[in-house]
Chain A
Amino acid sequence: MRLTTMLLLFATLVILAYFAARRRAIAMAGGHRGIRNLHSLPAHHGYYAALCSALPALLVLALWALVGDRVVMGQVITTLPEPYRSMEASELSLVLNEVRALASGQAMGGERPPELEPVAGRFLALHSASRWLLSAVVLALALAGGALACWTIRPQLRARNRVEAMVKALLIGASTLAVFTTVGILLSVIFEAVRFFGQVPIIDFLFGLEWSPQTALRPDQVGSSGAFGAVPLFAGTLLISAIAMAVAVPIGLMVAIYLSEYAEPRMRALVKPLLEVLAGIPTVVYGYFAALTVAPLLREGGEALGLDVASESALGAGLVMGVMIIPFISSLSDDVINAVPQSLRDGSLALGATTSETTRRVVIPAALPGIVGGVLLAVSRAIGETMIVVMAAGLSARLTVNPLEAVTTVTVQIVTLLVGDQEFDSPKTLAAFALGLVLFIVTLVLNIVALLVVRRYREQYE
């Protein structure tokens, strides 16, 4: 049975369960008049039956999606001829891929061992059998669940409470899933990072001043060990983020102040959507802009002033990143500035303060915690930003505070370490995970601090 057919049938069953249960509830109550004799409204009985019919079946479906393929493949492996059965796991998976390809009838280049033909047939048979079985189980469960729920309907059945409980469980399930995904990502990064720290001491990594991850292929080559001091990377990240924030914070804040304190409604209606366009530009495009427009401009300008500007400079990347962050800061600040009650502005104006005095002395101080929170969120965005710096900041890990030189950032290095065919157990690739872990911790801390600050601000006015 096709998967779509099965899902359609399943949905029909669930809907049927809803209507059947509702009718039965009404009938039990003795018609619409008697509804007040029911503990719960007929619709609640309907939802109850629908959930009873849907949830177990969905659970089975989800389980199958997780383990179904593995079960089938396990069966297939047992039927493989001898030389294959004792293969390494990695080779075996290649063979199994061939089996799959054969089964789907794809004519891929190259010879295929003839002894795999029957295996492919066996795989096909198993596959369709498992599909049928799955469909049968799912539909049977849906039917049984719905019928059982309908059968248990009594006027005093607390269907409403049960529906609420099930909905709550569903929602909790969804949020746990999100949390577990985060934890999973974190664990995978930590796992690889720990392997890296097994090869390179953590102190060397965190405090080393030299970064040259190129390990030699043969032990007799020079620089065979590589150097994994992350300080230049973090310094570069910090330098570029600082330039970006130096651009974005004043401009973004001024935009927000203009929009919320000075602009006519018509102007506001024009500027806000424009800023949102700015926020919607993909970062790759900002990257082009930085590399193709801003960098040459800086170079020419630098030459005119007698300065030596590298063609990939921290300044160019930072400036463009700052432009990217402006809408982020301005819209967050605009929100918090607008949340400052009008009565405060009135109080200040009525004392004879000008609009700018009012803004500077009353509105901004009142909104400051929220603005700081927004800026911190923006910082963590700047630190994590990858595309612009990959295209515009360069690759040389130089420890410098001169914004005219090329620097590199943590994210750029992660990308270059992982691009291309890599062995996954060399310190070079593992270093990427260690960098990722540190980056993750830094942005996590920044975000938590930002959220705490923002929350404190909220309490003030609500």
Chain B
Amino acid sequence: MPLDDRSTDRPVIPTTSQRTGGGSGTVGDIHAREPVITVRDCNVHYGDTHALKQVSLDIGRNEVVSLIGPSGCGKSTFIRCLNRMNDTIESARVTGDFRLDGQDIYAKDMDVVLLRARVGMVFQKPNPFPKSIFENVAYGPRIHGLAGSRRQLDDIVYESLERAGLLAEVKDRLDEPGTGLSGGQQQRLCIARAIAVSPDVILMDEPCSALDPIATARIEDLIDELREKYAIAIVTHSMQQAARVSQRTAYFHLGNLVEVGPTEKIFTNPGHKLTEDYVTGRFG
């Protein structure tokens, strides 16, 4: 497995794929210091499309991993594997070893409902329920019985909205439909909805794609804050954002995980030609 010589100046811990001799030849260290989610040799097929090829990656406690790469390279597909949202796509076939705190995510006896309560997700396209703003945020806590009383529920909802930076805009119209908000407000509503159930891992698929710089900064602060307790993976098309919020960065290309490493290294001293082309804007 020829590794780019620039990355050989630091110890390389081989991935299982490297150990087993197969694999996609990811450059850099896929391991996290305190892994919460570990993925080994993940392959996803949509019918005949091979959307992810031999991807191995850890996501650790108290860190933000950003996933970058050109459109259609499989970033969304990857994070959807982690809370088994690909189960809802009939044509999707997922193989590989996925673990959450050592527990097999795809095991037969894995309770998908509990898994998804622990691994929260913010979708690429905002998808508020056609309910009131309050009910949108209260949805998860209600289902999981997180609030003992109406007071507690109110507290959870207000706090979540506040942390997502939406409360000031909507506090006078909490009973208006969430679908009536603007695109960026909907995106923040969906973030509030996801953090209201306090998951251990949060997967965010381009959470700031429709946000102005101020709201983006608010969300980035939130991510920073969440990092203290949770593990976070964020898909983004903005290199600046990846550089600002994440400790590690993974670069995907055509279904391959090309390179993983400390964010600073990926942006200043990438180990692979494809990564370099992408982060310097020479891609495509």
Contact = CB atoms under 8 A, between A and B. Distances in A.
A344 B128 CA distance: 7
B212 interface: no
Interface string A342-369: 1111111111111001000110011000
Contact of B127 (A347, A352, A354): A347
Given A347-B190, A357-B143, A460-B130, A352 B116 contact: yes
Interface string B62-105: 00000000000000000000010100101000000000000000
Contacts of B118: 352
19 contacts: A341-B127, A343-B123, A343-B127, A344-B127, A344-B129, A344-B130, A348-B139, A349-B116, A351-B139, A351-B143, A352-B113, A352-B115, A352-B116, A352-B118, A353-B113, A353-B140, A361-B143, A365-B130, A365-B131
Nearest to A354: B113
Instruction: Please provide the 7 A-B residue pairs with the shortest distance between their CB atoms, ordered closest to farther.
Output: A352-B117, A343-B127, A351-B140, A350-B121, A347-B127, A352-B116, A366-B130
A346 B123 contact: yes
A265 interface: yes
Contacts of A365: 130-131
A351 B88 contact: no
Contacts of B117: 351-352
Interface size class of B (residues with CB under 8 A): 20 to 34
A352 B197 CA distance: 9
Interface string A312-345: 0000000000000000000000000000011111
Contacts of B129: 344, 347-348, 362, 366
Interface in B179-238: 179, 190, 193-194, 197
B144 A346 contact: no
Contacts of A362: 129
Interface of B: 83, 85, 88, 90, 113-118, 120-121, 123, 125, 127-131, 139-140, 143-144, 179, 190, 193-194, 197
B85 A349 contact: yes
A349 B88 contact: yes
Contacts of B139: 348, 351, 353, 361
Interface string A434-462: 00000000000000000000000000100
A352 B143 contact: yes
A343 B125 contact: yes
Contact of B116 (A341, A350, A361, A460): A350
B113 A350 contact: no
B204 to A, nearest CB: 12
Nearest to B203: A350
A361 B121 CA distance: 19
Count chain B CB atoms within 10 A of each CB in A341, A347, A460 and give the residue with the most. Answer: A347
B85 A350 contact: yes
Contacts of A341: 127
Nearest to A362: B129
A136 B236 CA distance: 78
A356 B35 CA distance: 33
A350 B129 CA distance: 13
B189 to A, nearest CB: 11
Given A344-B129, A366-B130, A350 B197 contact: no
Contacts of B197: 351-352
Contacts of A345: 88
A36 B144 CA distance: 70
A149 to B, nearest CB: 55
A344 B190 CA distance: 11
A18 B155 CA distance: 77
Nearest to A368: B130
Nearest to A350: B121
A459 to B, nearest CB: 11
A346 B126 CA distance: 11
Contacts of A350: 83, 85, 116, 120-121, 123, 194
Contacts of A354: 113
Count chain B CB atoms within 10 A of each CB in A349, A354, A365 and give the residue with the most. Answer: A349
Nearest to B136: A347
Nearest to A358: B143
